């Protein structure tokens, strides 16, 4: 710990966002960066507590106090090495992690947390700029071959670890580029896709084989992979969206959020869509149903497309601004979150349920909403009641269903090779990350349910360790 008084002398300083008037006209990253001097000061606020709750709260177990100290001392390479020891992609988490570490920072008990996420992004960008991050070609190969199905953060994290262990890794990805939801879900204004390409370029130099446009279960059969590889890791995500089966769901204008976000990300990559297929909300009234990250990304994308109005509704009540008594530090705070997209313009409403979509000639025109109240039933479970007489009809042209994801898609590889699923529809694994099918493992959202990038990275790491044990025990 370089400066024992840093937390008393230096206040939290965030890098902030580009001005709204500028950023809503493009898809460039909204977040800015601090200069190096300020960044070092921010790192000096870390108290190197006896028990680093930040480390406890971080799914990848980042050694946060250690690399804050390295930043403070100007040892950027060391900071980068410590970061990479637990996380293959600090450039992703440094940009888009909701930073549970900061919520658990001891400073956050009575003061403002260390800017851990921003510090992480600064370290990894400095490390790239200085050339500290170079391909690490494994010196020894085991002769074992592993197929990773799915090139999202979980699959790529597993691929990196297994490759560094000396196994020969091939990633099969159904889309035209790897990255999973980082690439085609999360908008460019949160994560510039060149950041993914930069890392993939290094992975390929390190020997990872990446095969895109390979939909396993369809283009390539799982049975064939089981013959050709010593182990298979299913990192296929949890991409089955939660639907809203109410009257009018079939109307033109009611979309899953991912149809909108994926298309805009592809347009930003230069792909062209016929006008009839393009989801263009310019001059239109948009309703986003679901108050989470995906919904917020639809808000930001709608504002960039110049929607006439953007409303986001949530069925749950408005969360408190400050932690409630039953939700104390150091746990994840269930408080109101306002994203950069929300501050660009959005009418946010809570405790609203959707009764039906109303159309004309097959096209969405209006939606009927009703206010709801939440109470506890006799078993202590939450019960939702519609408030009589609170129904209202609202004009709307496009609805984006952003109510989360239920589980992995079962059509294709899961059904083809007969992987068991649990009662929620996630891939079932044992304590060694093995599925019900011999030599088939699972990683990330596919077995864990829809979660976070940082969790997917950790699950990929853990799956890799178990695959390695499995392969090497067979020696």
Ligand X SMILES: Cc1cc2nc3c(=O)[nH]c(=O)nc-3n(C[C@H](O)[C@H](O)[C@H](O)COP(=O)(O)OP(=O)(O)OC[C@H]3O[C@@H](n4cnc5c(N)ncnc54)[C@H](O)[C@@H]3O)c2cc1C
Interface residues with ligand X (CB under 6 A) are 96-98, 149-155, 172-175, 180-182, 185-186, 190, 214-217, 235-237, 239, 261, 293-294, 297, 412-413, 444-446, 450-454, 456
Q: Closer CB to ligand X, residue 76 or residue 260?
A: 260
Q: Closer CB to ligand X, residue 6 or residue 152?
A: 152
Least distance from C-beta 232 to ligand X, angstroms?
A: 11
* Alpha-carbon gap, residue 100 to 151, rounded angstroms: 25
Q: Closer CB to ligand X, residue 7 or residue 184?
A: 184
Least distance from C-beta 296 to ligand X, angstroms?
A: 8
Q: Closer CB to ligand X, residue 313 or residue 457?
A: 457
* Percent helix, strand and coil across the chain, each to the nearest 5: 35, 20, 50
Q: Closer CB to ligand X, residue 153 or residue 248?
A: 153
Helices (H) and strands (E) in the chain, counts: 18, 16
* Alpha-carbon gap, residue 291 to 314, rounded angstroms: 5
Find the angle CA(74)-CA(76)-CA(77) to the nearest 5 degrees. Answer: 135
Q: Closer CB to ligand X, residue 82 or residue 452?
A: 452
Residues 178, 200: contact at Cβ < 8 Å? yes
Least distance from C-beta 385 to ligand X, angstroms?
A: 30
Q: Closer CB to ligand X, residue 129 or residue 223?
A: 223
3 state DSSP class of 36:
helix
3 state DSSP class of 48:
coil
Least distance from C-beta 19 to ligand X, angstroms?
A: 22
DSSP string, 428-455: P--TTSB-SSTTEEE-THHHH-S--HHH
Q: Closer CB to ligand X, residue 154 or residue 169?
A: 154
Q: Closer CB to ligand X, residue 62 or residue 366?
A: 62
DSSP string, 232-243: EEE-----EEPP
What's the sign of the alpha-carbon dihedral 218, 224, 226, 229?
A: negative
Least distance from C-beta 238 to ligand X, angstroms?
A: 7
Enter the tokens of residue 122.
Answer: 């600064």
Which helix H or strand E contains 90, and what residues bound it? helix 90-96
Q: Closer CB to ligand X, residue 40 or residue 409?
A: 409
Q: Closer CB to ligand X, residue 396 or residue 401?
A: 401
Q: Closer CB to ligand X, residue 86 or residue 294?
A: 294
Least distance from C-beta 233 to ligand X, angstroms?
A: 11
Least distance from C-beta 86 to ligand X, angstroms?
A: 16
Q: Calculate the CA dihedral of residues 42, 43, 48, 52 and round it to 10 degrees.
A: 90
Least distance from C-beta 234 to ligand X, angstroms?
A: 8
For residue 360, what are the contacts with CB-CB under 8 A and spacing of at least 6? Answer: none
In this structure, the chain runs to a length of 475
Enter the tokens of residue 146.
Answer: 């592993």
Least distance from C-beta 108 to ligand X, angstroms?
A: 19
Least distance from C-beta 146 to ligand X, angstroms?
A: 15
* Alpha-carbon gap, residue 135 to 121, rounded angstroms: 20
CA 351 vs. chain centroid, Å, equals 25
Residue nearest to ligand X (CB): 152
> Which of the 8 DSSP states describes residue 114?
P
DSSP string, 316-329: SPPPPSS--TTS-T
Find the angle CA(86)-CA(123)-CA(6) to the nearest 5 degrees. Answer: 100
Least distance from C-beta 363 to ligand X, angstroms?
A: 25
* Alpha-carbon gap, residue 334 to 348, rounded angstroms: 17
Residue 335 has phi, psi (to 5 degrees) of -115, 170
Enter the tokens of residue 224.
Answer: 């064939």
Least distance from C-beta 364 to ligand X, angstroms?
A: 21
């Amino acid at each position: 710990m370089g400066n024992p008084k840093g937390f008393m002398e230096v206040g939290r300083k965030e890098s902030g966002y580009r001005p709204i008037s500028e950023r809503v006209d493009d898809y460039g990253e909204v977040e800015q960066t601090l200069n190096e001097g300020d960044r070092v000061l921010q790192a000096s606020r870390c108290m190197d507590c006896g028990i680093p709750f930040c480390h406890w709260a971080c799914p990848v177990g980042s050694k946060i106090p250690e690399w804050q100290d390295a930043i403070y001392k100007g040892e950027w390479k060391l900071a980068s090495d410590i970061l990479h020891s637990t996380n293959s992609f600090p450039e992703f988490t440094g940009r888009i992690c909701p930073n549970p570490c900061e919520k658990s920072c001891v400073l956050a008990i009575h003061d403002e947390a260390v800017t851990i996420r921003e510090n992480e992004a600064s370290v990894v960008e400095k490390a790239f700029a200085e050339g500290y991050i170079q391909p690490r070609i494994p010196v020894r190969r085991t002769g074992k071959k592993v197929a990773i199905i799915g090139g999202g953060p979980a699959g790529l994290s597993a691929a990196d670890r297994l490759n560094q262990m000396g196994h020969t890794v091939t990633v099969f990805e159904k889309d035209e580029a790897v990255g999973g939801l980082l690439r085609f879900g999360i908008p460019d204004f949160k994560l510039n896709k060149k950041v993914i390409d930069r890392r993939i370029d290094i992975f390929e130099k390190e020997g990872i084989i990446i095969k895109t446009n390979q939909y396993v279960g369809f283009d390539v059969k799982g049975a064939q992979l089981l013959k050709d590889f010593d182990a298979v890791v299913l990192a296929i995500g949890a991409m089955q969206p939660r639907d809203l089966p109410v009257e009018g769901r079939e109307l033109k204008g009611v979309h899953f959020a991912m149809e909108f976000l994926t298309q805009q990300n592809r347009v930003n990559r230069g792909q062209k869509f016929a006008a009839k297929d393009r989801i263009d909300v310019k001059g239109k009234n948009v309703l986003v149903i679901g108050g989470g990250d995906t919904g917020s990304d639809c808000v930001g994308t709608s504002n960039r497309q110049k929607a006439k109005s953007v409303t986001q509704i949530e069925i749950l009540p408005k969360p408190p601004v400050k932690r409630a008594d039953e939700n104390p530090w150091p746990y994840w705070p269930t408080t109101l979150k306002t994203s950069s997209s929300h501050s660009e313009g959005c009418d946010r409403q809570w405790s609203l349920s959707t009764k039906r979509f109303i159309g004309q000639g097959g096209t969405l025109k209006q939606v009927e909403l009703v206010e709801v109240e939440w109470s506890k039933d006799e078993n202590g479970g939450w019960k939702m009641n519609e408030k009589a007489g609170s129904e209202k009809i609202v004009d709307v042209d496009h609805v984006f269903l952003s109510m989360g994801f239920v589980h992995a898609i079962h059509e294709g590889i899961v059904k083809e090779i007969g992987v068991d699923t649990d009662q929620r529809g996630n891939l079932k694994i044992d304590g060694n990350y093995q599925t019900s099918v011999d030599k088939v493992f699972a990683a990330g959202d596919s077995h864990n349910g829809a979660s976070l990038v940082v969790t997917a990275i950790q699950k990929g790491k853990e799956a890799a360790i178990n695959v390695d044990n499995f392969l090497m025990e067979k020696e």
